[in-house]
Amino acid sequence: MRLRVLGAAAGGGFPQWNCNCPNCDGLRRGSIRARARTQSSIAVSGDDENWVLFNASPDVLQQIRSFPALQPARALRDTAIAAIVLIDAQIDHTTGLYMLREHRRPWPVWCTPGVREDLSVGNPLFGVLGHYCGIAWRELPLAGGFAIDGAPGVRFEALSLTSNAPPYSPHRDRPQPGDNIGVSLIDAASGQRIFYAPGLGEMEPHLWAAMEQADCVLVDGTLWTDDEMIRLGASAKTSRAMGHLPQSGPGGMLEWLARLPATTRKVLIHINNTNPILDEDSAQRAELAARGIEVAFDGMEIIL
Ligand code: MLT
Ligand code: MN
Ligand code: ZN
């Protein structure tokens, strides 16, 4: 199984177009050591030929251009993307679908009924795409595993996570099962697992069980501190209120990752541009290194 990080940043990307936080400003000026990152997406292949796209980021066209394996050039119009899985209905994970409207057949899009509803009512993206290639919705099961047509060699197991639905969801701030998911990506031959959850608001027993079972976890790295956005004056919301478990502090992601076996590869993804871990010379980044935790970047590959 081969996993390619297409975009390691959270919504807004890094640098974010209108942001002058120390990271965004520092990256533009070249005064910090950091690399730009596009918005949240990965691709996974079990045969190194056919790929499943997780999330359709607003940066999807740039992401496809920077990963030639996604364009095998077998026909006039072609793609190696067999299907798309949506982790949630947020803008950073879905608006790239508009950019993929030239597909030659309806896109197989795997998501929960709740995400489908948000993308039909709150943000009627699926309806709009009906005027172009169309969407062939596949209900993403939250129990048991599933395989995806056209993507051999890899199996999937999804679970519901407590996080938050998008602001335009009819049930924003009233989390419902299926608003956000985590997915185990399983190599069909070896059984090895990567657990992927870019938006994870709190640790829950079923989620912890999936993390413990994984050979590699690729999990929510949005914010370092719960009040990071408030302290910067960038938002009135805490990390937890936005559905993202912060890394530091009691009950934070670092405490949880420390409980995983030393052999589990630990990677943070969906990193907000304000997060000090993006500065490769920061104390927070050094703390991650000391704990054996990696920070995902665009182009990173995980091969199991
Ligand atoms: C999130 O992950 O909380 C959202 O994607 C935020 C956003 O809209 O950028
Ligand atoms: Mn997001
Ligand atoms: Zn910023």
Q: What digits encode the pLDDT tens for the residues 27-80?
A: 999 999 999 999 999 999 999 999 999 999 999 999 999 999 999 999 999 999
Contact 269, 8 (CB under 8 A): yes
Instruction: Give the number of other Cβ atoms within 10 Å of residue 141's Cβ.
Output: 13
> Any idea what the CATH number is for the domain that residue 291 is in?
3.60.15.10
Pocket perturbation via mutation, ligand 1, pick of 14, 18, 90 by most ligand atoms within 8 A of CB: 90
Q: Are 253 and 204 in contact (CB under 8 A)?
A: no
Which residues line the pocket of ligand 1, CB cutoff 6 A? Answer: 10-12, 90-92, 199, 242-243
Cα of 292 from ligand 2 centre, angstroms = 24
Burial pattern 64-86, b for ≥16 Cβ within 10 A else e, equals: beebeebeeeeeeeebbbbbbbb
Q: From the CA of 266, how far away is ligand 3's center (Å)?
A: 24
Cα–Cα distance for residue pair 113/87, rounded to 1 Å: 12
- Give which of 103, 22, 45 is closest to 284, Cα–Cα: 22
Which H, E and C letters describe 177-235, residue by residue? CCCEEEEEEEECCCCCEEEEECCCCCCCHHHHHHHHHCCEEEEECCCCCCCHHHHHCCC
CA distance 255 to 248: 8
- Report the number of distinct structural domains present in the chain: 1
Please identify, by atom number, the ligand 1 atom nearest to the C-alpha of residue 199.
2
Average pLDDT taken over every residue of the chain:
97
Q: How far apart are CA 181 and CA 12, in angstroms?
A: 21
Q: What is the pLDDT of residue 164?
A: 86
Of 187, 53, 45, nearest in space to 109 by CA: 53
Identify which of 16, 92, 244 to mutate to test ligand 1's pocket (most ligand atoms within 8 A of the CB).
Answer: 92
Domain that residue 148 falls in: 2-303
pLDDT digits (tens, 9 = 90+) for 249-282: 999 999 999 999 999 999 999 999 999 999 999 9
- CA 25 to CA 273: how far, in whole Å? 10
Q: Which of 247, 301, 282, 235 is nearest to 44 (CA)?
A: 301
Query: How far apart are alpha carbons 166 and 194 in whole angstroms?
Result: 26
* Confidence bin at 163 (pLDDT 50/70/90): confident
- What type of residue is 41? S
pLDDT band at 189 (very low <50, low <70, confident <90, very high): very high
Distance 235 CA to ligand 2 centre (A): 15
199 CA → ligand 3 middle, Å: 19
